[in-house]
Each structure stands twice: as C-alpha cells, then as structure tokens.
Structure 1
Amino acid sequence: MSKQPGGLDLHLDVHPDGPREGPRGPGALGRSLESALRDGVRSGRLPPGTRLPGSRSLAADLGISRGTVVQAYTQLIAEGWLTGAPGSGTSVATPPTPTAEPGEKAVAGAGRGHAAEPGGGFWSVDLRPGRPDVGSFPRTAWASAVRRALATAPSHDLDYGDPAGLTVLRQAIAGYAGRARGVRADADSVIVVGGFSSGLALLARALRGLGGTRIATEDPGLPRHRELVRAAGLETVPLAVDAGGADPAGLPVRCAAALLTPAHQHPLGVVLAPERRVAFVGWARHAGGYLIEDDYDGEFRYDHHPVGALQALAPDRVVYAGSASKALAPGMRLGWLVVPRSLREPVIRAVEDTGASVPSVTQLAFADLIERGEYDRHIRRSRLVYRRRRTELAQRLPSPLPGVAAGLHALLPLPSAEQERRLIEAGRRAGVRLQGLHAAGYWYEPSGDRPAALLIGYAAPPRHDWRRALEALCALTARSA
C-alpha cells in the first residue's frame, strides 16, 4: 500500500518473489512492481493523468529499495505506460487517439467537452430536452454558500436529523415557493427530497400504503414517471392531452392521484386551461384523491409572468413538487414537496423506510443561496438567456413552434414517426443528439396516428456553443424537408 501526493492511497499487489507468472530470482521484485503498475493502467484502475507517488515515498511504503522503484518507473516510461519529467513527477500516460479508418469521417467537435455516445464516438451537440446549461451553474456563489454553511451551522445540523429536511431549508423553500410560484406553504408542509423522481417514488409508495391502486399520468408524458409509479406497485391510467392540457374527463373515480404538469405540459408545452384546473380540483375533492403538480420549469415563462401554481386552489388536495434540477443542475439531486397535512406522515415514513434524505451540507448551502437572493438572480439571468435562444430557434425553423413560450424545450412537429426516426438517426450520424415523442416512449401506446415531433432542448448547449448547435439543427431539418 502506498500513498499518493495529498494522502491518496494506491494499492499495488507486489509479491517479493516476483509476478505470479514469470521468472524468479534476481530482479523479480522489480518485475512484480512493473506488472502491478501495468495491470493497474491496463484495467483502468489507474486512469490517464493519475499522478504516482515519488520513488522515495513508494519505496518506503512498500518496504523495498528506491532503486527498484526507479528501475520499474524507467521501464514503464520506456514502454509508454507512464510519463515523467524532472520536477513534474511520474504520471499514467494518455494513450494515443486512434486514427479513423480510410473513408470514415470524424465527428465534428469530438473530444474534450463533448458527451460520449453509448456505442462509441462522441456527441458534438446535445439537444435533449429537460436539461439546463449546466455550464452556467453558479459555482462561485455555491462555493461561498457551502463555506458559510460549514462555518456557521450548529453541530446538530450535521447529525441525523428530521427526515423532512432541515428547518432552515424548509422555511426558505416555503418562502420562495409562496413568493415566486404562489404556493400556500409553511415549513411544516415542506419535505425535502432528492429531486422530482425521488419525490414521486416516495409519493407513490405512500399512496400505495394508504390503499391506493392507480395513478393517472399524462399521455404523452415522461415514461420514467410511469415506471416509478409502477415500481411502487400501482397501475397507471392515461390522461389524454390536447391544446387545453390534460383532460379530466378521462379520470376514473377510483384513482389515488393524478400527476400533472399544469404550467408547461411536458412534452407538448401547453398550459392547463383554467376550467380544467377547477375540474381536476373538483374531482380530487369528490373522489378523495390527490393531484401531484410537477412544476418542473415553472419559473421559465418568456411571454408574460409565469402561471401560478395549481396548488393554491386546493392546498389540502394538491401536492406541489419543485426542484433545482432545471434552475441549477440535475446533478444537484435536490427537490421539495409541499404536501397536504393528510399526506405528511405517510411520505415521511417513506423517506425513513428508503433512507432518501438529502445531505445536510447541500440543504444548508441551498438555504443560504435562497436567503441571499442568489437563487433568484441566477434564475433571472438564465431566463434572459433561454428566452433569446427560444426566439432565435423560432425564427430559424420553417413552421411556428406550438405551445407557450416557456421552459427549456420546444416541440418541432413532424409528419410521421418514420420521419422522426430518420431525423434522429441522421442527427446521430452527424453527432447531434435528438429526442422524439415516439423514440423516447412518451406515448402510452405509440401508433401511426399518434403525432410525431422532435423535442428540442435549446437550453442544454453551453453558451459558447449555442449558435453552432442551432446551425447543426437547422442543417438537419433543412435536409429532411
């Protein structure tokens, strides 16, 4: 066992008698060290760029002579496994990039900063929906919030705490959701969760424990949401969506809840009509069911002020769900539920049973970000950027974008599922990652009469790369016209 600079441990399987396979005798210990390092690099356990301990430090840790380590390093540098320079230490070498076969065309922009394609190669442009520009994450403000949180938080905030979340964050969220989204909430009604998916899984588990058997979800709607509901042991019921949003006429009386995206339906981008809001609330009261309001990008409305939360119409029947995934970054894994009093204990039991609590330091830092106004300022900056992008997208595409000017994605209708498939495949060949209604499984039962479309995630590209992404998309759609 050896230690890297900075105290990192490095495990090497070195045998005094030499490698398991190979000659014994003089030099066997050095060959064993070479073999252990070579195996570590070959297996990927020591990735390119990994700094290795100095020869003196490694020799002391392994209980061998420094000369043996120097000889092993020298041999592996000569073989190309390692690299070293005076004053820079020894590191794992970066393997050469394979050259393309004759006749093969390299993907434009492949390399550093581009997402790897599952089948190999790289995505030059990623236009999948539901993703913000993670490069705009307010790193400096977040780092400052973490430092302040660690410097000022009482010790008990780092202990096992309330499964509903730290009081300071629940108070901050209640204030923010009321101020920015019109939610009727106090700290006692807020439960901190690890993003909306985590919150939906907990809600489905809680409703199942209360005897629920079905949850209605929008059609089309995210397949992942249906999977989470079914994983909790409940059935899913489709709710047709049209220009007025989800249609409450499809709701059965015996249903535990209906999952809705009222402010900006995902994926069609429409707003739930006022009369349908009233009808859904009436159903919930009459049937004793609940409405789950997924307000996934409610802060991002560009034509006028955002539509207020449905929850304000019936706080006793609506679960309001928000998250930082679209405003900050999906990797935050931070969200919140504002739950009716009747659901608070069942949901908290689900949190306890699954160990789904959010780390305390993350909660403390996010509370600080909200309280200092940094969260609001970041949202306002992002809103301006995304508004400009959507306007530019609408100006460049041949037909008007359906739905309201809001959110992080826009719908590009297509004549057929076949053309949707061809466009996605053409994008894949060009290194442009696209997503479609049929290809991504949004429809409960896809068929030839179901509308087809691309979902253009215009928020995802980095700021410096937006224009290139837009040109790549326009080139694809022009060729398919």
Structure 2
Amino acid sequence: MVPELPMTLDRRASRPLARQVADHLREAAAQGLLRIGDRLPSTRALAASLGVSRTVTAAAYEQLVAEGWIEAKHGSGSFLAAEPPVPGGLRRTTRSVRTDPRRGSSAPPDAQVDLRPGSPWAAGLVESTWRRAWRRAGDAAPDPRPVRAGLPAYRAAVAEHLLRHRGLGVSGGAVLATGGTSAALTELALAWLEPGDAVAVEEPGYPRAVGALRAAGLRVLPVRVDGGGLVVDDLPENARAVYCTPAHQFPLGARLSASRRMALVQWARDTGATIIEDDYDGELRYDVAPLPMLAAVGPDVVVHLGTSSKIMTPTLGVGWMVAPRSIIAAVLAYRNSAGIGPSLAGQRVVTAMAESGDLSRHLRRVRRELAVRRDIVASKLATAGRVVVGDRAGAHLVTLVDGPDDERWAIAAAAASGVALDGVGRCFAGVPDMAGITLGYAAPARRDDLERGLEVFLNLARG
C-alpha cells in the first residue's frame, strides 16, 4: 500500500468532489508520490479518510480506469498503471537533481547509504549467535497445526524480556505473539474496534499506523504533540481508542511526561476508550531510565505492542501484545475465524536467543553502538548550525527545514547521491504544519557509512 496521500477537498467549489479526488490522484502520480504498480487505498478507506461517501471515490476510480491511468484487479484492488500529467499540462521533469534539484529529479539510483528511520542495527547481530539460534530453533519438530496465541516458550521469554528491559511484570498468559506492531494494530482494528469508530493518533505520527487504521474503515482523528509528547487535553471525547508512542514519540522523539501518562490513563477510564501503546524502540534509551510504561500504569485500559524488528531484524517477523483478557480473547477469536497467526519460526529464534542470554548481550551492544552514533549525528548537525529534535533515545532524530519544498528537495537530491533520507511531511494524517528530515542512524553497517551519508546531507543543506 502506498503512503498516505495529502488531499484537501473543497466542498464549495463548482468542480464535483469525484473529479477533485481524481485530479489529486493524477497529481500525486505525476509528482512521483505514486509509482506504476502501487496499490491504491480501497474506495471505502479513501472515502472514510476524506469524509465523503463511497460513491464519490468509486466514481473517481472509475474515471481514472476509463482514462487508463489505473487498473482494477478483481480481488486485489486498484493499481497505478501509468504516469499521467498534472492537470493543466505540467509533467514531471526528467532533468538531473544535480543540475536543478528544486525542479524535480530523475529516478534515484539504489541507495548506498540508508539514513531512513525504522531500521535496526542488523549488522550488530553476531554471526555465530545468529546461526546458533537458528540451529536451536531447527531442533524442534515441524508443527502440525498453527498456534494462534503463540508458542508458550516464546510468550514466557517475552514476559521475561519485558520485566528485565522494560520493567513490566506480566505472566506469559497475558502475552500474545504477533507479526510485529503494524500487524498487531491491524488485528486490533479488526477484532476490537468497529468500522466507523474514531481513533485518535499523534500528529505528526507513525504513517503506517494511520494507514492500517484507515484500511480497517476507522476514522482517524489527529491530535497534536509538543515537547512533552501527546497533548492529552486535546483528545476528543468520542474517540474509541488512542494510538500513541509514549516512550519515544515517532517521529519527533519526545517522551510522554509522567503527568500526561497519568492523565491519559484517567482519560481512557473516564471515556471507556482503549490506549494502544506502541513501544517500537522502548529498549533503546541512552540518558535516563525510561518512565513506567502505560501498560504498567493502566493495565485495564492499555494494549502494549512491541517488536523484535527494531532491536534485531525484521527477518524474524514477530512481536508481542500485552492486553486485558477481553481484548486477547477478541484477537484470538479473530485469528481463528480468519485462519491466521504469527510466524512460529521467528518465535523459536527469539526464544533461543533469550534463553541463552544472547538477546540481552545483543541489546547491550546495540545500546552502546547507537548511543555513540546518535552523538556523532547530533554533534555534526550542531556544528553545521542545525537544531536537533528528539530525546537521547531510539535510532533516529529530526532536524527541521524551512518548508515542504526544502524537505522534498533534500530527499530527492540526497537520493541522486546515493543516500536515502526520509521526511517529516509524510507523518501527518492531515495537512503538515512543519517540515524536517528524519535521520535514522542504525541501518548503516559501519560508522564510516553513517558519517559519509550524513556529510552528503549536510553538504546539500549548506549548498
């Protein structure tokens, strides 16, 4: 699925809404936000996100199918089939970014240095440790049937991990194995919430979470964040749930203050809402001890989500969920009806690493390395006169730029030099009110690669 596309419809305009939607999609394709082969949101999901009837979005898609720009595949969805011009005759330029970066770019080469957020320091996994865990996982006999809740040994290992590294005391019975935080959020949306329910999200926030919620037919209500994290006083009373990243707000990096944590839990109890706590990199903190997790403060109203992909590798495809019994029962019922469940192979590898102590040793190594890398990035940005946004935690930080044009230009220009960057703009569910570059520092295998990619960005900024 493509990232969320910024669309604003003018209900007072003489142009029909369906035509406005079609024009927005054409423009997104012409500007490179959509590429040939990208799957578009369903007409229902797009209608829900725009606050219009499904007939509007269906008519827009039918028009684009008739024009040949998109292709509808039965049972699979709608896909971009060609790159149309922007309405009015403007076309994407093919001139090099090096000669005229603000006007557009040719297709970027394969990135030699990846500075996008969301990747772990996979190179930090010791080869002998990795192989030993897989060999031990392979000792188990093949499973004759799926294990919907997850392997008991894995659930026990996660409970021990949460106690050791996150200070959360739970039994293995309160843990469900998942396919990662995004997969778990999708399950919650389909098993616990109803189509049309309102879910509050951080603004800016994690775009994949917004995409998962909208794809499930839920209404997304953006709520602003500041230096203290989610502004709890701005939460709407009609929200059935709130999705947040309290340990390290994505993307701006704030830590939800203790007072706001208590206020958020009380808000959920007063309104009957559910808090979805995405602890995507909560193990990675380099300055002070992390505050107690929301799941420890309000276990009756909080669903805690964690993942192995940010601390080890997405190869394993597993995470975990800690939730009240009623929610666990609903998710298991959904899995049974849909015939789905998380990877057992990945669970066995994580279990083997946890039981041998290799997981704890790996985490200590990751914390040491990423603390040094963050200091390198922050120091170079400060020397260049750039402001760093975010706590001393996680695997990314943000540096602001003047506006969305500068953000897009920096990303495209860096790509032409073999460096992959990401921007803050795509993290808004609504219209962006700030712009910046989100610099991940975990993906490069070596520090030299990190510094080389960072130098490319800083040289572009100086130029």
Classify the TM-score, shorter chain.
0.7 to 0.9
> 1:403 corresponds to which residue?
390
Determine if contact 1:166/1:363 at 8 Å carries over to the other structure.
yes
- Match among 100, 110, 133 for residue 145 of structure 1: 133
- CA distance in 1 between counterparts of 2:203 and 2:240 reads 18
Determine if contact 1:212/1:255 at 8 Å carries over to the other structure.
no
SS of alignment partner, residue 242 of structure 2? strand
Poorly superposed stretches of 4+, deviation over 4 Å:
103-106
> 1:189 corresponds to which residue?
174
CA RMSD of aligned residues (A): 2.2
The share of aligned pairs that are identical, in percent, is 37
Determine if contact 2:317/2:343 at 8 Å carries over to the other structure.
no
> 1:59 corresponds to which residue?
none
SS of alignment partner, residue 158 of structure 1? coil
Determine if contact 2:387/2:400 at 8 Å carries over to the other structure.
no
SS of alignment partner, residue 473 of structure 1? helix
Deviations 1:452-479 (A, max 9, x none): 1100011111115223223222222222
Deviations 1:409-466 (A, max 9, x none): 010011222221221222122222111111xx2112225xx12110001111111522
How much has 1:131 moved relative to structure 2?
0.9
SS of alignment partner, residue 131 of structure 1? coil
SS of alignment partner, residue 189 of structure 2? helix
- Match among 354, 357, 372 for residue 373 of structure 1: 357
Q: How many residues align?
A: 359
- Match among 421, 442, 445 for residue 459 of structure 1: 442
- Match among 298, 304, 309 for residue 293 of structure 2: 309
> 1:164 corresponds to which residue?
149
Residues 1:289 and 2:276 aligned together: no
- CA distance in 1 between counterparts of 2:395 and 2:305 reads 18
SS of alignment partner, residue 282 of structure 1? helix
> 1:174 corresponds to which residue?
159
1:282-361 map, 5 Å: 282-361=266-345
- CA distance in 2 between counterparts of 1:348 and 1:179 reads 27
Deviations 1:336-382 (A, max 9, x none): 00011121110112222334322323212211111111111111111
Q: Specify the code of the residue in structure 2 equivalent to 1:401.
A: V
Determine if contact 1:215/1:236 at 8 Å carries over to the other structure.
yes
How much has 1:105 moved relative to structure 2?
11
> 2:120 corresponds to which residue?
132
Deviations 1:203-262 (A, max 9, x none): 1111225x8712111110122211111122211111110111011122222322111100
159 and 200 in structure 1: CA distance in 2 versus 1, 3 angstrom threshold: same
Q: Specify the code of the residue in structure 2 equivalent to 1:205.
A: L
How much has 1:137 moved relative to structure 2?
3.0
358 and 269 in structure 1: CA distance in 2 versus 1, 3 angstrom threshold: same
SS of alignment partner, residue 281 of structure 1? helix
Residues 1:208 and 2:193 aligned together: yes
> 1:475 corresponds to which residue?
459
Residues 1:424 and 2:445 aligned together: no
124 and 361 in structure 1: CA distance in 2 versus 1, 3 angstrom threshold: closer
Q: Specify the code of the residue in structure 2 equivalent to 1:183.
A: L
> 1:382 corresponds to which residue?
366
- TM-score when normalising by structure 1: 0.71
318 and 104 in structure 1: CA distance in 2 versus 1, 3 angstrom threshold: closer
> 2:429 corresponds to which residue?
444
Determine if contact 1:414/1:453 at 8 Å carries over to the other structure.
yes
Structure 1, unaligned runs of 5 or more: 1-102, 107-116
SS of alignment partner, residue 351 of structure 1? helix
- Match among 253, 270, 276 for residue 269 of structure 1: 253
Deviations 1:144-189 (A, max 9, x none): 12222332x3x4x722143110101101101111221122321111
Determine if contact 1:244/1:271 at 8 Å carries over to the other structure.
yes
Determine if contact 1:300/1:306 at 8 Å carries over to the other structure.
no
Determine if contact 1:214/1:234 at 8 Å carries over to the other structure.
yes
- CA distance in 2 between counterparts of 1:118 and 1:125 reads 18
Determine if contact 1:316/1:341 at 8 Å carries over to the other structure.
no
- CA distance in 1 between counterparts of 2:108 and 2:377 reads 29
SS of alignment partner, residue 315 of structure 2? helix
Determine if contact 1:292/1:319 at 8 Å carries over to the other structure.
yes
Determine if contact 1:212/1:256 at 8 Å carries over to the other structure.
no
- Match among 230, 234, 244 for residue 260 of structure 1: 244
- CA distance in 1 between counterparts of 2:160 and 2:184 reads 20
- TM-score when normalising by structure 2: 0.73
SS of alignment partner, residue 383 of structure 1? helix
- CA distance in 2 between counterparts of 1:278 and 1:284 reads 10
SS of alignment partner, residue 423 of structure 2? coil
Q: Specify the code of the residue in structure 2 equivalent to 1:399.
A: R
**Which structure has the greater CA radius of gyration?**
1
- CA distance in 1 between counterparts of 2:431 and 2:356 reads 47
SS of alignment partner, residue 389 of structure 2? coil
> 2:221 corresponds to which residue?
237
SS of alignment partner, residue 378 of structure 2? helix
- CA distance in 1 between counterparts of 2:416 and 2:184 reads 37
